C-alpha cells in the first residue's frame, strides 16, 4: 500500500527536556573562564549559534558539548590563526564577538504553509519508499528544526507545552543568513570529519561537519571534481553498484525529500556513484558512517551547493 502526502491531524506537542536552557539564559550567557562545560548549557548554545553565523557550522545547534562543536571551534581557530585545539577560551570568545553579540533566540510564528506537504511516516524498506510521492518532513517541528539549524528535541525543549501548529509563536535560534561567494576548492579532511570550502585566493569561506565512509564502504581518495548540483533529487538505488538494502535486489527510484537517502541536496562528483549530499538524521553525523559519500546536514549542503559550480576540485585528505 502506498503512503500519500498528508498533514498530521493532531498538533505536535512540545515536551520540555530536563534542565534545558531557556531563551533568556541563552541570550544572557557569557564566557568567563575555561572550556565549555559538559552537558547541555546556555553558553554552548550561544557559541554554536555564533560559530554558525561565522560560517563554521557546528552541525545541529543543541547546546550539548560534543565532537561536532569541538571540531567547529578548532576549525574557527584555524581560520582565525589561533591554535586549533578545539578548546573554548578568551581568544575564541573575542574573535566570535561573544561579549557584544545580539540576541541569539528569536520568535517565529508557525504558518499554514509549514504544515503543508508532510508525510505520514518514512518506512525503512526502500521498496516501500519507492511507492511514495515524497520523503518529506513528517512533523512541523522537524521542518522548523532544520530551518533554524536546530536539533528537533532542543526545539521542543525550548518551547515546553506549546503546540507546534499553525498560529503558534515559538522560540527558535537565529543562525544568521546563508553565506554567499564562489567556492574554488573543497577539502574533505577524513580524520577530523570536516569539509572546508575555499575561495580562489585560498581563504576558507565555510567549514562544515561531515560523515564519511567506513572501512567497508570508504570515501574516495585523492582529488575528484564537482560535475553538477541537484536540488530535491530523486535517488537511484542500484544494489549492484551501491549497497544492498533489505531484500531489495532491483533498481529502484526513490522519491525526493528531506528524509530521503541523500536529503534534499546532491552535489555530484566525478567518481561514479559518489557525491556530497544531505541527510535525514543531522544529529548523527559524527556517530554514523556513510556508504562512501560525504554526508552533511541538509542546510549545510544547501548552502554549499549555492556556492559551487562544475569543475570545482574536491580533495580527500587522509
291 is catalytic: no
Q: CA-to-CA distance for 169 and 185, rounded, in angstroms?
A: 41
Q: Is the pLDDT of residue 18 over 60?
A: no
Decide if 277 is catalytic.
yes
DSSP 211: B
pLDDT in tens, 177-227: 999 999 999 999 999 999 999 999 999 999 999 999 766 667 888 999 999
CATH H superfamily, domain 185-317: L,D-transpeptidase catalytic domain-like (2.40.440.10)
- Which has the higher per-residue pLDDT, 49 or 20? 49
Alpha-carbon distance of 19 to 41, in angstroms, equals 9
Q: What is the pTM of this model?
A: 0.90
Instruction: Name the residue ranges covered by the structural domains of the chain.
Output: 1-177, 185-317
- How large is the average pLDDT for residues 279-308? 91
Q: How far apart are the first and last CA of the chain?
A: 45
- Contacts of 248-253 with C-beta under 8 Å, sequence gap 24+, read 248/125, 248/126, 248/127, 252/126, 252/127, 252/129, 252/130, 253/130
Q: What is the pLDDT of residue 15?
A: 45
> Who has greater pLDDT, 236 or 315?
315
Q: What is the predicted pLDDT for the residue at 246? A: 81
* Residue 216: per-residue pLDDT: 61
- Full DSSP string of 33-66: SSSPPSSB-HHHHHHHHHHHHTTB--SSB-SB-S
How much is the pLDDT for 6? 30
Give the mean model confidence (pLDDT) for residues 138-158: 98
Catalytic residue among 79, 143, 271, 277: 277
pLDDT in tens, 22-44: 999 999 999 999 999 999 999 99
Cβ-proximal residues to 68 (8 Å cutoff; 6+ apart), any chain:
58, 59, 60, 209, 285, 286
Indicate which residue of 14, 42, 145, 293 is catalytic: 293
**Pairwise CA distance, residues 3 & 121, whole Å:** 8
CB 311 within 8 Å of CB 226: yes
Distance separating alpha carbons of residues 14 and 24, to the nearest angstrom: 18
Amino acid at each position: 500500500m502506498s503512503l500519500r502526502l498528508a498533514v498530521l491531524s493532531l498538533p505536535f506537542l512540545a515536551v520540555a527536556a530536563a534542565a534545558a536552557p531557556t531563551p533568556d539564559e541563552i541570550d544572557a550567557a557569557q564566557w568567563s573562564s575555561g572550556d565549555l562545560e559538559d552537558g547541555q548549557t546556555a553558553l554552548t548554545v550561544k557559541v554554536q549559534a555564533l560559530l554558525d553565523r561565522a560560517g563554521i557550522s557546528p552541525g545541529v545547534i543543541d547546546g550539548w558539548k560534543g565532537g561536532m562543536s569541538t571540531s567547529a571551534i578548532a576549525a574557527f581557530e584555524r581560520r582565525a590563526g589561533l591554535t586549533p585545539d578545539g578548546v573554548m577560551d578568551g581568544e575564541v570568545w573575542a574573535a566570535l564577538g561573544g561579549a557584544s553579540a545580539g540576541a541569539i533566540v528569536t520568535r517565529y510564528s508557525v504558518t499554514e504553509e509549514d504544515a503543508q506537504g508532510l508525510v505520514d511516516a518514512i518506512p525503512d524498506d526502500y521498496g516501500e519508499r519507492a511507492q511514495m510521492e515524497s520523503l518529506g518532513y513528517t512533523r512541523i517541528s522537524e521542518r522548523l528544526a532544520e530551518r533554524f539549524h536546530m536539533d528537533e528535541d532542543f526545539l521542543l525543549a525550548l518551547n515546553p507545552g506549546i503546540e507546534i501548529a499553525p498560529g503558534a509563536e515559538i522560540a527558535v535560534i537565529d543562525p544568521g543568513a546563508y553565506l554567499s561567494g564562489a567556492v574554488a576548492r573543497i577539502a574533505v579532511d577524513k580524520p577530523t570529519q570536516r569539509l572546508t570550502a575555499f575561495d580562489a585566493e585560498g581563504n576558507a569561506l565555510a567549514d562544515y561537519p561531515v560523515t564519511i565512509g567506513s572501512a567497508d564502504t570508504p570515501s574516495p581518495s585523492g582529488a575528484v571534481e564537482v560535475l553538477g548540483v541537484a536540488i530535491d533529487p530523486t535517488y537511484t538505488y542500484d544494489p549492484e553498484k551501491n549497497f544492498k538494502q533489505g531484500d531489495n535486489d532491483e533498481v529502484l527510484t526513490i522519491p525526493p525529500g528531506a528524509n530521503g537517502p541523500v536529503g534534499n541536496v546532491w552535489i555530484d562528483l566525478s567518481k561514479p556513484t559518489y557525491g556530497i549530499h544531505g541527510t535525514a538524521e543531522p544529529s548523527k553525523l559524527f556517530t554514523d558512517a556513510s556508504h562512501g559519500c560525504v554526508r552533511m546536514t541538509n542546510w549545510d549542503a544547501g548552502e554549499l551547493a549555492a556556492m559551487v559550480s562544475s569543475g570545482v576540485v574536491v580533495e580527500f585528505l587522509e
